[in-house]
A and B are shown apart, each in its own frame.
Chain A
Amino acid sequence: MRISDRRFALYLMTPAALFLAVFVAFPLFRLVADSFFKISPIAGGPRDFVGLDNYFRAFASEAFMGAGWRTLAYTLVVVTLEFALGLGMALLFTTLGRSSQIWRTVFMYPLMIAPIVAGLLWKFLMIDNFGLIGTLLHQAGILSNPNQIGWLSDPDIVLFSVAIPDIWLTTSFMCLVLFAGLQNIPGDLIEAARLDGARAPAMLFRIILPLLRPVIAVALVVRGIDAARAFDTILIQTNGGPQSASETMSLLIYRTMIRFGDPGLASAMGTVYLLAMLAVAFVAVSTIWRPGKDN
C-alpha cells in the first residue's frame, strides 16, 4: 500500500530527528534538570533539590558575571575584526577578478586547521622570551625589548591576544561568504553608479553594503555564535589566565564542572549561557536580516 507523501517525508526525517532528540535534546534536558540540584561530583553521590539556589549563586559570583562580559567582548572583537578583514579581502579578490582565483584557494587554508593547533601555534608566536612576534617587533625597532608586550601574560590585553588565532582561522570564512555575495551584485547596477559619478566610498557604503546586507547578517550571526562558544584556542593558550583575564563562559563552565566539581552550579551557568545565546541570535537575526523586508 502506498503511504502518503507527507508520511513518507516524516519517515525519512525520523532517524535524524531521533538521533538529535536522544543525543542533543535529552542531554540539554539533563542540563536544565541538573541546574536545580546540588550534586556531589562523586558518581552515585548525593543529589539534593535546591530550587533556584544555583542560579542565585551564579549571578552572585564575580567569576560568572566577569566571564559573561569577557565572552561578549571577545565575540565583538573577533566578529568585528573578521568582518573588516574578510570584507577587505573579498573586495580585493573581486576587484582583481579571475586572475586571483588560486590565491583565494590558498587564503582558505587556515579553515582546515584544528583550533587546538592554531591556538598552540599563536601561543608559540606570542609567548614571552622565545616568541617570534616580540622579537621581530624589537628587531624592527618598534619595541625597546622583545618582552615589552606580554601578549599572553598581561591581564589587560590577554583577551585580545587569545582572539588572534580565532580571527586567523576564520577570516577566510567571512571572506568566502562575502565574496560569494559580491559575485551576485548585478554588474549593471555598479555601472550605473559609476556613470553617475559615484566614488569608491560612496559605492561601498551606498550600494555594495546595503545589497550585501542579508549575506552580512548570516556571516555575522554564524561567526558570532561560534566565537561566543570559543574554547579550544583559549584553553591551550592561557587556560583562562592570567588572573581569569581570558576566562570566557565555556572555560568557566568547564572548570566549574571538572576542576571545582560542582555540576549543579555549572549546569545553571550552562542554562543561562544557552538562553542568552538563543536570545542574542534571535534579536540579531530579526534586526539585521529583516526577512521579508527585502521584497
Chain B
Amino acid sequence: MRVAERTTHDGGTPPPVVAGTSVPTTTGSSGRQRRGVNREGLEAGRRSTRTLLWVLLAAAMVLYGFPFLYLLFTSFKTPIDTIAVPPTILPREWTLENYTNALGRSGVLASFINSIQTAIISTVLSLVLAVPAAYGITRYQTLSGRIFIMAALVTRMVPPVAIGIPLASMMAAVGLSDTPIALSIAHTTISLPLSIWLMSSFFEAVPKDLEEAATVDGCSRLGALWRVVIPVVSGGIAVTAIFAFLASWNEFLFALLMTAIRSQTTPVVIANFQTQFGLDWGSMTALAAVYSIPVILLTLLLQRKIVAGMTLGAVKG
C-alpha cells in the first residue's frame, strides 16, 4: 500500500485529499468490485443488528445536521428574537428581516462580487499551473518531478500566518495591494499544491498507450496532452477546480491580511459584523446562510465526483 498526503482546508474546509493512486476518477469497475467483495465482509447481516445501526446513524445525522439547521432557523427570526433569552429553536415569527438587513448593508454585495472574482481567478491560475506540472510529474517520472511533488507537499505545512505579511508587502511593492488579483495569488499558494497532487492522481489513472498511440499518429507531445489526455481527465479537472474554488471561497486569514476596502471578501465582512456593529447576530446568520448554501448545493449536486476526488488515492490497494 502506498500512501502520501495532501489535503484540505485552509480557509478551513475544503479539500482534503490524499495520495497518489490508481483509483479511477469515476466509479469504475474496480471500485464496484471492491465494494462488492466488501459487502460480504463487513456488512452487517442480522436484522436486529441492522435496525440498531440505523438508529445510531439517525442519531448521528440529527446531531450533525442540527447546528446548520439552527443557523437557518435563526436567520428567519426577527432581529430581537434572535438573541431572546431563553432561545427557541424555531422562529416565533418567520421573517426575511435579517436577510434584508444583511444584504442592504453597504459593502456586502460588493464583497460577494469580490469573493466570486477572487475564487475564479485563483481557480483558473491553479489549473493553468497545476495541469501541466502534474502531467510532467506523473508521465515522465523524473528525479526533478519527484523532488517537486515532495516540495509541494512541504508547502502544505507552511502556516499561512507565516507568509501572509511578507506576501502582502510584496503585493504592495508592485502596486497590487487590496486587489482581487493579489488575494487570488495568495489563495493559489494554498490551492496549487493541492491541485498538483490531485491532478497527479488523475493522470496516473490514464493509460500511457493513449498518448503513445497519438504520438505515433504524428501528434507532438504537447498536442497529445492537449487533444488526447486532457479530454480524458476532464472529470478530474472539474473536481480539482471545485476544490480550488472552495479553498479560495472559504479562506479567511489571507483575506484579512491582504484586503482593505476595495477587495474585501465576504468571510472578512462576516467577521467584521462582530466588531463593527456590536452583536448583530441576526444579520450574521443570514449572511452566513447566503454564503454557505450555494456551495452546499453545489456539493450535493456533484457529490459523486467530489467523493471520488477526496478519497482518491487515500488508498492504493
Residues of A at under 8 Å CB distance from B?
Answer: 5-6, 8-13, 15-17, 19-20, 23-24, 26-28, 30-31, 34, 89, 91-98, 100, 103-118, 120-122, 124-125, 129-132, 135, 138-139, 146, 168-170, 173, 176-177, 179-191, 208, 214-215, 217-219, 221-223, 225-226, 228-229, 231-233, 235-236, 249-250, 253-254, 257-258, 263, 266, 270-271, 273-274, 277-278, 281, 285, 289, 291, 294
Cα A98 to Cα B34 with chains together (Å): 12
A121 touches B67 (CB 8 A): yes
A253 and B162 contact, Cβ closer than 8 Å, known pairs A16-B129, A235-B271, A294-B1:
yes
Give the shortest distance, in Å, between A7 (CB) and chain B (any CB). Answer: 9
Give the shortest distance, in Å, between B280 (CB) and chain A (any CB). Answer: 12
A124 touches B281 (CB 8 A): yes
Q: Which of B174-215 contact A (CB under 8 A)?
A: 185-186, 188-189, 192-193, 196
A130 touches B84 (CB 8 A): yes
A228: which B residues are within 8 A, CB to CB? 159
Give the shortest distance, in Å, between B105 (CB) and chain A (any CB). Answer: 16
A270 touches B281 (CB 8 A): no
A104: which B residues are within 8 A, CB to CB? 307
Q: How large is the interface on B (under 10, 10 to 19, 20 to 34, 35 or more residues)?
A: 35 or more
The residue that B133 contacts in the complex, of A13, A89, A235, with Cβ under 8 A, is: A13
Q: Is the interface of B mostly helix, strand, loop or mixed?
A: helix
B67 touches A168 (CB 8 A): yes
Cα A16 to Cα B149 with chains together (Å): 11
B162 touches A16 (CB 8 A): no
A130 touches B13 (CB 8 A): no
A214: which B residues are within 8 A, CB to CB? 1-3, 315
The residue that A27 contacts in the complex, of B43, B64, B166, B296, with Cβ under 8 A, is: B166
Q: A20-B192, A28-B158, A129-B85 known; 19 other A-B pairs, CB under 8 Å? A: A6-B140, A16-B129, A23-B186, A115-B250, A116-B11, A117-B270, A117-B291, A118-B12, A118-B13, A121-B67, A121-B71, A124-B281, A132-B70, A169-B13, A176-B314, A177-B314, A190-B42, A229-B159, A258-B257
A96 touches B137 (CB 8 A): no
A191: which B residues are within 8 A, CB to CB? 40-41
Cα A149 to Cα B247 with chains together (Å): 35
A121 nearest CB neighbor, chain B only:
B71
The residue that B159 contacts in the complex, of A97, A233, A274, with Cβ under 8 A, is: A274
B16 touches A170 (CB 8 A): yes
B311 touches A189 (CB 8 A): no
Residue among A26, A31, A34, A271 with max Cβ neighbours from chain B (10 Å): A31
A114 touches B140 (CB 8 A): no
A26: which B residues are within 8 A, CB to CB? 166, 170
13 pairs from A and B in contact (CB 8 Å cutoff): A20-B155, A26-B166, A107-B61, A110-B13, A114-B291, A117-B270, A118-B13, A176-B307, A183-B315, A185-B41, A231-B253, A253-B162, A257-B161
B121 close to chain A: CB less than 8 A: no
Cα A190 to Cα B285 with chains together (Å): 47
B236: which A residues are within 8 A, CB to CB? none
B130: which A residues are within 8 A, CB to CB? 16
Give the shortest distance, in Å, between A149 (CB) and chain B (any CB). Answer: 15
B279 nearest CB neighbor, chain A only:
A127
Residue among A93, A249, A254 with max Cβ neighbours from chain B (10 Å): A254
The residue that A181 contacts in the complex, of B185, B298, B315, with Cβ under 8 A, is: B315
